[in-house]
Structure 1
Amino acid sequence: MDLSNPATLVALFLNLILILFTVKFLAAKLREKQKKNKTKYHPVGGTLFNQLLNFKRVHHYMTDLAGKYRNYRLLSPFRSEVYTSEPDNVEYILKTNFQNYGKGEYNYSLLKGLLGDGIFAVDGDKWRQQRKVSSYEFSTKVLRDFSTVVFRKNAAKLANIVSDAAKSNKIMDIQRNVVQDLFMKSTLDSIFKVGFGVELDSVCGSNLEGKEFTAAFDDSSAAILFRYVDIFWKIKRFLNIGSEAKLKKSTKVVDNFVYKLIHNKIEQMRNSNDSSMKKEDILSRFLQLNDTDPTYVRDIILNFIIAGKDTTAATLSWFIYMLCKHPDVQEKVAQEVKEATDTMEVKDFAEFAAILSEEALGKMHYLHAALTETLRLYPAVPVDPKICFSDDTLPDGFSVRKGDMVCYQPYAMGRMKFIWGDDAEEFRPERWLDEDGMFQPESPFKFTAFQVCRTYYKLEILAGPRICLGKEFAYRQMKIFSAVLVHYFVFKLSDENKSVTYRTMITLHVDGGLHVRAFPRCQT
């Protein structure tokens, strides 16, 4: 939020005036209705204006409120917003009474500026159709095998770049070599190849359009999230000023890139005589659906990019950060990777990546626990808003009304002592291991980083209709990248005293990237 921008200051002032006038009215109305109907509503933790003032640290702000209330309301001029950290409430929203909680028209109106009619923004038939096609792809052995090859290839590319920086003893903080930026490029290349059948090759810096697309996509994500605290965003959009003007500019870059991709893919499919090629990636399957509108395909692509690039790359960045802060964990991961691969010294990154079979990855329980512990503290999607479709009472005994926004908070939940114990804010992978050092999953309504998924080891936990299709896909990619990097390098922060925090956007990115040094690891 740029306070030097006059438009931003005007928006802040108008927000303050409007909210101050409405807060007392809304609070009085709530008390009156509660008294009349003898219903209980969650305690008021603040207002939309408080959230606006804390926008840059909004997840810290909401974690503080969750620690005080567990579940609370924020008042706004148009609706109440309920934020919950109770696993029982999460299970009720996502499973027990799933039909009463969805994206709704409110969330759709905010998100469609970037995500359109994609799976993360819609309910109903469009959601079911995209999920059906996606679930078929994610369940096939062909995709699993193909994606593994792509992940190995891109992990080796990334390791070569890190190796060059390590040999020259450079801090990886120039723009193209920020660790998070490298992860973003690598995972972007992976999702484009696996999902869309396109060789983007942005990790080596050869695709300028890919760089511009990534920057524009991230800026669009931040602007879309700002709409949740900016009650004047529609006016700004109409006048084409402030954050909405920036959003329009960014989405134009995004759209040009994606529509070009769609056009090229259609031509490729039309001119190919190989019938099998038309089924090799997710984009091809959607293009084969009858009456598929290019705008709809564009929306599908961008939602897959959020799922396949942002979430994985952000988690890998936070994972490296945690390893830097906890060198003992870094050494344990490196030792486990060495034992699991059980090979003599292999100097070639691609050759080592090829050794990372499903069997070898399956032995890496401590690495899996360390990645999961990273997701507990730094979930890729830090908060997930739903709309209540009819008056209801949550398991905590408090009521919610039709039209209320009801959010569960993976970021705050990961820090709650009543869920994880007194050491909730500590990074401790061991909490995920049993006495034999085997990974043991937690309830998906307690650990919600994948928006309630089945566990990696196929335990049949009914987690609700919106389980994450790509969880195993994401873990495989993260484990391959992590295993290659930690096997060959020791990572240290370039500045131990520099504060590392997030950028407030749809997904949880490290603000400004993660600046580290990489040192060759001695292979003994």
Structure 2
Amino acid sequence: MDISIVSATLYSVALVPIALSVAFALLLLKTFTGKSLRSSKYPPVRGTVFVQLIYFNQLYDYLTGVVRQSPTFRLLAPDQSEIYTADPRNVEHVLKTNFDRYTKGKFNIEIMKDLFGEGIFVVDGEKWKKQRKVASFEFATRVLRDFSCSVFRKNAAKLVKVVDELSAASEGFDMQDILMRCTLDSIFKVGFGVELNCLQGSSKEGRAFMKAFDEANALTYWRYIDPSWELKRLLNIGSEARLRNNVKLIDNFVHQLIRTKRNQLAAQRERNDKEDILSRFLLECEKDPENMNEKYLRDIILNFMIAGKDTSANTLSWFLYMLCKHPLVQQKIVDEIKEVIGDQASEANPDGFMERITDPVLDRMPYLHATLTETLRLYPAVPLVIFCSLDGRCTETDDVLPDGFHVKKGDNVNYLAYSMGRMHNIWGEDAEDFKPERWLKDGIFQKESPFKFVAFHAGPRICLGKDFAYRQMKIVSIALLRFFRFRLADERPVTYKVMFTLHIDNGLHLRAVPRLAT
């Protein structure tokens, strides 16, 4: 071999660590330059965003530990500061008082758009207003409310039958997976008018879609702390290659769904009471086909997916976990069900029982409502809201938060819903205790400020589906607790998986004991 070739190869290899060292030095320089590190008017710096790589699997607990020392703090990023807060005053300032000055921002949109496109959780301005207006009208209709109640009852009855079969096997089972499939069936029926039947396992396409969507959710969140994600996307390698494959599967499934629903709608022109959300959006699309095209519908569907499937299933999973840890609370809910609906032990048919679950019945169960709310306080469906960024459309001057700290144009302001539920200065010395009674006074549920209890967001972007979610969770909870007593299947630790929504990592493994003789 030519000695010159060998020398050149060795020289190139020797340059690699030098090049990496220079790149790392430049990254650090960019991260720390121009961030007003010594100024007390800005939130204290508690490291860089790269520290999140070290604590990623316990990220929300790590951030909770930091926020207990500094209720508002900064982590430095190459292009901006990431400001985190657990101060309800700051949350109200950003989400309500100064709502027009804070947007999703280009940084967040760039990270989220491959999966969520231009759906309501991602966009700002007129696009957000238009989707919000249409969605707000649809959620307010009695047709949708009645239709959704019917769907929730039917799927809850199916859920009871599935759990009954599993309980007979005397083995533990993953309750989170079952709840995910149940809520997926519900959102597909209510949202898109499709019987997916994923709960009972006959839809391979549906389960493949659910798996792809969950993995894409986690991989998209990973972008926030992966400094190389844009390069990986360009080269189509690693996590970005997996994300692209998942998004392709998701897109194919959703576009087929849209085409099927469009054909069905064309054959049902005589019906005016279109029950599902997609049908009603399709009718709106006819008014503006250029802007409200198939991609627009695709983005709407996936945004409703994360709102309708993940949030309810995750909350119900944590709810059942807490009831297993607190059997007295579980029994109190059962007693409330018996008091309101009656203790007809002879009625072992879940279909007949579920027909008795009406809105007036749900309204007479304050303890169940309080327990679900307490679950959301400690385990919010969206644990960390990476939401607000002052962008170029805003004033050129910095903003000042109510706690006195300044925000520079371009900085992200994130509120820590998971941490806020554990703050003693917000909820008292028993903040970390699971205590449904904190929401009740003389047996009546007492609301809290949405800027203190932030599980459903707040301000103009407050969750449109809040009542929708509570209704589904109550119906499912009543069905499960009327027919079964739950306990943990084993001693394995229960913790979260870091993604946009608060999944239980590796599932929730339970055993169920029937309450009624069949």
Cα deviation, residue 427, structure 1: 0.6
Query: How far does residue 155 in structure 1 lie from its aligned partner after superposition?
Result: 0.4
Q: How far 1:336 moved relative to its partner? A: 0.6
- Asked whether the 8 Å contact 2:35–2:81 carries over to 1, the reply is no
Note the C-alpha offset of 1:56. 1.7
Change (3 A) 1:202 1:393: same
Letter of the structure 1 residue corresponding to residue 314 of structure 2:
A
Which amino acid is the alignment partner of residue 318 of structure 1?
Answer: W
Instruction: State the secondary structure of the residue aligned to 1:516.
Output: strand
| Cα distance, 1:514–1:299 mapped onto 2, change above 3 Å | same
Match status 1:474 vs 2:476: no
SS of residue in 1 equivalent to 2:250: helix
Give the direction of change, closer, same or farther, for the CA distance of 1:418–1:14 in structure 2 (3 Å limit): farther
Deviations 1:234-267 (A, max 9, x none): 1000101111001001111111110110010111
Sort the Cα spacing of 1:371 and 1:283 in 2 relative to 1 into closer, same or farther, 3 A: same
Q: What corresponds to 2:322 in structure 1?
A: 322
Give distance in 2, aligned partners of 1:363 and 1:507.
30
Deviation per CA, 1:219-238: give whole Å up to 9, x if none.
Answer: 00001000100121110001
User: Contact 2:369/2:474 (CA < 8 Å) preserved in 1?
Assistant: yes
Q: SS of the counterpart of 1:328?
A: helix
Deviation of 1:31 (Å): 3.7
Residue of structure 2 in register with 1:171 after alignment: 172
Q: Which residue of 1 aligns with 2:510?
A: 516
Distance 1:480 1:494 in 2: 24
Percentage of matched positions with identical amino acids? 53
Mind listing any 5+ residue stretches in structure 1 that lack a counterpart? 1-12, 173-177, 453-463
1:26 Cα shift? 5.0
From the superposition, tell whether residues 15 and 367 of structure 1 become closer, same or farther in structure 2 (CA, over 3 Å).
Answer: farther
Deviation digits for residues 101-141 of structure 1, max 9, x if unmatched?
A: 11111111000010000001100111111111111111011
Q: Contact conserved, 2:383 with 2:501, CA < 8 A, in 1?
A: yes
Letter in 1 for 2:125: G
Letter in 2 for 1:96: T
- Number of the residue aligned with 1:282: 277
Q: Which amino acid aligns with 2:505?
A: D
In 2, the alpha carbon distance for the partners of 1:314 and 1:469 equals: 18
Residue of structure 1 equivalent to 2:501: 507
1:260 matched residue in structure 2? 256
Return the alpha-carbon distance in structure 2 between the equivalents of residues 309 and 17 of structure 1: 45
The residue type equivalent to 2:83 in the other structure is V
Whether 2:133 is the aligned partner of 1:132: answer: yes
- CA gap of 1:344–1:67, structure 2 versus 1, over 3 A, is same
Q: Equivalent residue for 1:455? A: none
Equivalent residue, structure 2, for 1:410? 417
For 1:32 and 1:343, locate their aligned partners in 2 and report how far apart those are by CA, in whole Å: 64
| Superposition pairs of residues 227-246 of structure 1, within 5 angstroms | 227-246=223-242
How far has the Cα of 1:27 moved from its partner?
4.5
- Relative distance call for 1:14 and 1:500 in structure 2 (3 A) is farther
Q: What whole-Å deviation, never above 9, does each CA across 1:69-116 have from its counterpart, x for those lacking one?
A: 111000111110000000000000000000111111111100001000
Gaps of 5+ in 2: 1-17
The whole-number CA distance in structure 1 between the counterparts of 2:352 and 2:86 is 45
Corresponding residue number in structure 2 for 1:388: 390
Aligned partners of 1:321 and 1:500: how far apart in 2? 8
Q: Check whether the contact 1:66–1:72 (CA below 8 A) recurs between aligned residues.
A: yes
**Partner of 1:490: helix, strand, or coil?**
strand
**Conserved 8 A contact 1:492-1:517:** yes
Following TM superposition, by how much is the alpha carbon of 1:167 offset from its aligned partner in structure 2, in angstroms? 2.2
The 1-side partners of 2:85 and 2:351 are apart by: 45
CA, structure 1 residues 40+249, in 2 after alignment: closer, same or farther (shift >3 Å)? same
- Distance (whole Å) between structure 2 residues aligned to residue 202 and residue 119 of structure 1: 26
| Deviation at residue 350 of structure 1 after TM alignment | 1.1
Q: Which amino acid aligns with 1:308?
A: G
- For the pair shown, the structure with the greater C-alpha radius of gyration is 2
Shift of 1:502: 0.8
Q: What CA deviation, in whole Å up to 9, does each residue of 1:21-47 have, x standing for no partner?
A: 55577556434784xxxx700001121
8 Å CA contact 1:414–1:424 kept in 2: the answer is: yes
Q: C-alpha separation between the residues in 2 aligned to 1:257 and 1:55? A: 31
Instruction: Give the TM-score normalised by structure 1.
Output: 0.90
Distance 1:26 1:161, change over 3 A: closer
What is the distance in 1 between the residues matched to 2:304 and 2:80?
Answer: 30
- Is residue 300 of structure 1 aligned with residue 300 of structure 2? yes
1:203 aligns with 2:199: yes
**Cα 1:160/1:340, change in 2 over 3 Å:** same
Contact 1:81 1:407 in 2 (8 A): yes
Supply the distance in 2 between the matched residues of 1:16 and 1:65 (Cα, whole angstroms): 30
Are residues 227 and 26 of structure 1, via their aligned partners in 2, closer, same or farther at CA, if it must alter by over 3 Å?
Answer: closer
Do residues 364 (structure 1) and 365 (structure 2) align?
yes
Tell whether the 8 Å contact from 2:147 to 2:275 is kept in structure 1 after alignment.
Answer: no
Residue 521 of structure 1 and its aligned partner are, at CA, apart by 1.7
Determine if contact 2:30/2:78 at 8 Å carries over to the other structure: no
Shift of 1:20: 6.4
Contact 2:156 2:479 in 1 (8 A): yes
Partner of 1:216: 212
1:388 alignment partner AA = L
Bigger drift between 352-361 and 257-266 goes to 352-361
Equivalent pair of 1:116/1:299 in contact (CA under 8 Å): yes
Secondary structure at 2:485 match in 1: strand
Please tell me whether the aligned partners of residues 66 and 84 of structure 1 are also in contact (alpha carbons under 8 angstroms): yes
